[in-house]
Amino acid sequence: MRLLTREALLSFRRAPLLSALSITTIAFSLFTIGLFGLVAINLRQALRGIEERVEIVAFVLRGTPAETITLATQDIAAFPEVQDVSFVSEEQALARARSELVEFRDAYRDIKANPLPASIEVRMKEGFRESASVGRVAERIRGFGFVDDVRYGRDWVQRLDQLRNVTGLVGLVIGLAFAGVAVVIIGVTIRLTILQRAREISIMRLVGATNWFIRGPFLLEGALKGLLGGFLSLALCYAGYLLFRDTTGGPFAGLIFFRPEHMLVILVFGVFLGLGGSLVSVGRHLRNV
Amino acid sequence: MIRFSHVYKSYPNGALALKDISFRVGKGEFIFLTGHSGAGKSTIMKLLFAEQQPTSGEVRVSGYNVSALRVDEVPKLRRRLGIVFQDFRLLEDRTAAENIAFALEVIGARRDTIAARVTRVLTQVGLSAKSRAYPRELSGGEQQRVAIARALVNDPAILVADEPTGNLDERATRGVVQLLRDINTGGTVVVMATHDLDIVRQTPYRTIELREGSVVYDTAVDETEETEAS
């Protein structure tokens, strides 16, 4: 074990520039993924507030008996996706319009007959606020005979979804591209170390060292570089977070950083990148030594 | 200890390196493999330590069937062998003692036993005074002795030496051959490939001569046949 660690660490001294390069590439790969990840989790945090307001409004035909509406409301409340249902009568609708739409207060005051229909307002449970679920529930409500029309912010909901998905995807694509480069660079570094140590490796083989004993230091070297790259990327992400964090209450006031489990995922991913690069290289070049 | 049965070896380019090679080496034997370059000596050596596998036929070495050896068994076989080459294969950045210790470290030998074992083999090859010398500070003969010490340190059943005197002057050659004879006296089987016929003539050991991949002469062939018949 001591020999393994010594051999693994030795390569950092033998090729410091290349080692630094591979660590930096891993760091940048994870930084990109991490940065977009940060944007995504902050976006989600912000969207959660908006999403809570996502609701479906079903306009009720005039003259629908109150019992029918009560029964239907109970039905809808029992849908697994639905958080709560409330009935807004024609009078309540008018009162709300008068208080909320200040600009039209005069117009509403003067009208004799109430033009506003009664409605059922449905709020969705968390986790069902994306467009597919909202659309599904809206369609079922449309099925009630007394329902004149169903409205929900279809475009709005879809756009929120898209924004979140696109952010995640862009981060992932750029990050993976960097990860590919990182794997190649680590592979090259390990290959150079293997060539540098070709004589040593051939002797190890002749005297009966096992394959895993020979591979061990290279794999450890890769994993170590991945871990260091992971730490560096977290530091970079934190620097970015500090840069944008706004303590004065501006638009970025509520910015959040990764939770410990997110950071662990990034570090583990770094280790896997490093291991992957060295495994590919060891598999390809060790046989020829 | 070693048995070749109808061994053929051809390379991907179609060249036939060995044709129907059969011989046995018993306990305590010392044998020479001779022949010109390209006669097949090195191929036989590589089959002995499972660097290559035969195309057909069977090679058995110290209880292992090289023809059907799994990858994870190769190190086990090699730990029962000592291997010496013409070019010594020492690590230039390590002293004589460190070169020998390296062979023990990489097979996971207990650390507290390493120093004593290194001292023992260095004494055996007559280099205890030069344990701290680097390979560049040693003569060719001395470097080969270090390589032999490294091959011996794991107490091998068989010592495989591929042209061990190829880079040495006459005097150093005599010394190395004498050392190999001493090792053989201790019970270790020695297989030495050489194209130096003087050595072969001066020593009384069994000789297998190869030409174009076939055995053309084996001093012990009659004896072997007798053993097989009985």
Per-residue pLDDT reduced to its tens digit, B50-78: 999 999 999 999 999 999 999 889 999 99
Kindly determine whether residue B76 and residue A208, on different chains, have CB atoms separated by under 8 Å: yes
Residue from the list B71, B79, B102 with its beta carbon closest to the beta carbon of A208: B79
From the candidates A202, A205, A207, A286, which should be mutated to test the interface with B, based on the most B CB atoms within 10 A? Answer: A207
Residues A6-43 pLDDT 10s: 777 777 777 788 788 878 888 888 888 788 778 777 77
Residue with the larger pLDDT of the pair A1 and B155: B155
Pick the CATH number of B1-80+173-230 from 3.30.930.10, 3.30.420.40, 3.40.50.300, 3.30.465.10: 3.40.50.300
How many degrees, rounded to 5, is the angle at CA B164 between CA B158 and CA B170?
Answer: 135
Q: Which residues of A touch B79 (CB under 8 A)?
A: 207-208
Instruction: Note whether A267 and A220 are within 8 A (CB).
Output: no
Judged by CB atoms closer than 8 Å, whether chains meet at A209 and B102 is answered as no
Higher pLDDT, A89 or B47: B47
Would you say residue B177 has pLDDT above 60?
A: yes
Average pLDDT over residues A205-231: 88
- Tell me if A208 and B91 make a contact (CB, 8 A cut-off): no
Q: Determine what percent of chain B falls in helix, strand and coil, rounding each to the nearest 5.
A: 40, 25, 35
User: Do B78 and A207 meet the contact criterion of CB atoms below 8 Å apart?
Assistant: yes
Contact A208 B108 (CB under 8 A): no
Residue B175 confidence (pLDDT) above 60: yes
As given in the structure block, the two tokens for residue A263 are 């950071």
Q: pLDDT band for position B178 (50/70/90)?
A: very high
pLDDT at A250: 61
pLDDT value of residue B153:
94
For residue A181, what pLDDT is reported?
A: 79
Mean pLDDT of chain A: 80
Q: Is the pLDDT of residue B5 over 90?
A: yes
Mean pLDDT of chain B: 92
Q: Please check whether residue B79 touches A, CB under 8 A.
A: yes
Query: Would the pTM of this model clear 0.80, i.e. be above it?
Result: no
Nearest CB partner across the interface for B89, out of A203, A209, A210: A203
B 133-162 residues inside an 8 A Cβ radius of A: 150, 154
A55-152 under CATH 3.30.70.3040, yes or no: yes
Contact A207 B71 (CB under 8 A): no
* Cα-based angle A54, A59, A60 (whole degrees, multiple of 5): 140
The lowest-confidence range among A33-37, A251-255, B6-10, B184-188 is A251-255
Instruction: Assess contact for A123 and A92: CB atoms under 8 A.
Output: no
| Set of chain A residues whose Cβ sits within 8 Å of the Cβ of B78 | 205-208
**pLDDT at B228 (0 to 100):** 55
- pLDDT tens per residue across span B120-147: 999 999 999 999 999 999 999 999 999 9
DSSP 8-state symbol, B162? E
Chain A residue with CA closest to B147: the answer is A203
Residue A182: pLDDT above 80?
A: no
Residue pair A142/A150 in contact (Cβ under 8 Å)? The answer is yes
pLDDT given at position B210: 95
Beta pairing partners, A152: A56
Say if residue A104's pLDDT is above 70: no
Q: Which residues contact A83 (CB under 8 A, 6 or more apart)?
A: A123, A124, A125, A126
Of all residues in chain B, the one with the smallest CA distance to A7 is B106
Residue A52 has pLDDT above 90, yes or no: no
Q: Look-up: residue for tokens 């307002």?
A: A121
Size of chain B, expressed as the number of residues it contains: 230
Given a cut of 90, whether residue A227 has pLDDT beyond it is yes
| Confidence bin at A142 (pLDDT 50/70/90) | confident
Chain B contact set for A199 (CB, 8 A): 89, 91
Q: Give the DSSP letter string of A138-193.
A: HHHHHTSTTEEEEEE-HHHHHHHHHHHHHHHHHHHHHHHHHHHHHHHHHHHHHHHH
Residues of B with CB below 8 A from A214's CB?
Answer: 106
User: Which residues of A are less than 8 Å from B49 in CB distance?
Assistant: 206
Interface test with A, best of B45, B86, B106 (most A CBs within 10 A): B106
pLDDT band at B112 (very low <50, low <70, confident <90, very high): very high
How does residue A288 score in pLDDT terms, banded at 50, 70 and 90? low
Distance CA A173, CA A176 (A): 5
Please compute the mean of the pLDDT values over residues B165-191 and round it to a whole number.
Answer: 94
pLDDT at A243 (0 to 100): 84
Please determine, for residue A111, whether its predicted confidence score (pLDDT) is greater than 80.
no
Residue A128 CA, chain-centre distance (Å), reads 17
Mean pLDDT, residues B87-100 taken together? 93
In whole angstroms, what is the distance from residue A238 CA to residue A258 CA?
Answer: 9
Mean pLDDT of B16-32: 94
CA pseudo-torsion sign B89, B92, B95, B101: negative
Query: In B, which residues are within 8 Å of A209 by CB distance?
Result: 75, 106-107
Domain map of chain B by residue range?
A: 1-80+173-230, 86-155
- Dmax (CA) of chain B: 53
Which residues of chain A are in CATH 3.30.70.3040 domains?
55-152
Q: Which residue in chain A is spatially nearest to B46 when comparing CA positions?
A: A206
Identity of the residue in A3, A200, A210 whose CB atom sits nearest the CB atom of B75 = A210
Confidence of residue B113 (pLDDT cuts 50, 70, 90): very high
Chain B environment of A200 (Cβ under 8 Å): 91
Considering A78-87, A273-282, B161-170, the range whose residues carry the highest mean pLDDT is B161-170
Q: pLDDT value at position B69?
A: 92
